[in-house]
Amino acid sequence: MGNTGSTSPASLGKAHVPHLEWKVHDFSALLETGAKSAKSAHFHCSGYKWFLGVTPPMHKKTDAETPYVGLSLMLSRNDLVPGGTVTAVFELSVYNHAKKMYCGRRVTHNFDLNNTCSKNECLVPLQELLKSSAFLVDDCCVFGVKILNIKVCSPQKKALRVLKKATTLQNLFIQKKGLIKGTYTWTMDYYHELDSKIVCSPTFEVGGHKWHLVMHPHGCKHITDHVSLFLYLESSDKLCDESGKVVEFTLSILDQKNGKHYTITSGLLVFGGDSSWGWPKFLTVDKFKDLSRGYVLGSRCVVKADFTIVGSSNDG
């Protein structure tokens, strides 16, 4: 069975009360950040850890190029095993204040280690959302996701029932000014460090919180052909999801020979109960070790983190 997360817009139907209700405050400020996406903090359902994503705006590929706000569902990579598939049926929705109900679309998606996020679903044309008091009230838009069915194909797990549970409430506040920016350069002077399974940077401080970088030179869980790279919030400095920090960051492995650095930029992510974000498949090991690319020069490798704290999960 293939994934049916179509990006083609269709009329929205009445949706169930969601498992996650995510209030995005300062929606206009979210658009102004230019971020490619924003993800909620995690929520739990049937023993799995999920995230709701919004893409502002989502463009439908037509001649008109009408911008749409898109939603997607992500499953934590740590909940997946090699060769395993989690097939989920779920509703992505937006709250209609005029009708006093959630309106959305049902989606089916197969999640596995190479496919942890569903396709974006075009829910509402951006201009309609911005002009309508039905979806946007006091610059706040409410999104939701309801997981209806989960089928697991794995040697370790059996079929699951989606049990009734109370709605998880989350907020996203975007700062309009006074953004906190930070840069950290991590120089590893001894190449033999990169032969270990994991290398951690020294701790550095940004925005009153302590952070560090983690590199897996030969890949992290179930990955052997890529360098994995992550940004961590220090465990002693963990924030709960209700007071998490919303961060956009860029991680780079510097090309010390040609200046052609390898860089990936995130969307907006909540550092709270989940203390790390990054890329399990940041760069292939072959490219990383290719001496002509300059990522390793002599015995030195340099990693750089640039990030901005753009908001929080509370209004504090």
What is the pLDDT at residue 222?
82
Q: Mean pLDDT, the chain, as a whole number? A: 88
Residue 221 has pLDDT above 60, yes or no: yes
Backbone angles phi, psi at 105, to 5 degrees: -140, 145
Which two structure tokens, joined as six digits, stand for 32?
């102004």
Per-residue pLDDT averaged across 4-26, rounded? 79
Q: What is the pLDDT of residues 29-52, one digit of tens each?
A: 999 998 999 999 999 998 899 999
Q: What is the pLDDT of residues 97-107, one digit of tens each?
A: 999 999 999 99
What is the pLDDT at residue 242?
66
What is the pLDDT at residue 166?
87
What is the pLDDT at residue 10?
61
Give CA–CA dist 105/68, Å, rounded. 14
Domain 180-312 annotated CATH 3.40.50.300 = no
* Domains 13-172 and 180-312 in one fold: yes
What is the pLDDT at residue 235?
74
Q: What is the pLDDT of residues 65-75, one digit of tens each?
A: 788 999 999 99
Q: What is the pLDDT of residues 269-278, one digit of tens each?
A: 999 865 799 9
Give CA–CA dist 268/22, Å, rounded. 14
Using DSSP, state whether 292 is helix, strand or coil. Answer: helix
Angle (CA) 59 65 68, round 5°: 35
What is the pLDDT at residue 192?
66
Among positive and negative, which fits the CA dihedral 248, 75, 143, 62? positive
DSSP state of 120: P
**Ranges of each domain in the chain:** 13-172, 180-312
Residue with the bigger pLDDT between 230 and 177: it is 230
Per-residue pLDDT averaged across 214-243, rounded? 85
Residue 2 has pLDDT above 70, yes or no: no
pLDDT band with cut points at 50, 70 and 90 for residue 83: confident
Of 92-101, 156-165, 184-193, least confident by mean pLDDT is: 156-165
In the chain, where does DSSP find H-type helix? Answer: 27-33, 126-131, 285-289
Residue 309 has pLDDT above 90, yes or no: yes
Q: What is the pLDDT of residues 131-158, one digit of tens each?
A: 888 999 999 999 999 999 999 987 665 5
Beta bridge partners of 116: none
Give CA–CA dist 201/253, Å, rounded. 14
What is the pLDDT at residue 177?
85
DSSP H helix total and E strand total for the chain: 3, 22
Q: What's the whole-model pTM score?
A: 0.88
Per-residue pLDDT averaged across 304-311, rounded? 95
Question: Domain 13-172: which topology?
Answer: 2.60.210
What is the pLDDT at residue 4?
44
What is the pLDDT at residue 64?
54
Residue 6 has pLDDT above 70, yes or no: no
Q: What is the pLDDT of residues 242-295, one digit of tens each?
A: 678 999 999 999 999 999 999 999 999 999 865 799 999 999 999 999 999 999
pLDDT band with cut points at 50, 70 and 90 for residue 201: very high
Residue 275, C-beta contacts closer than 8 angstroms, at least 6 positions apart: 232, 233, 234, 235, 238
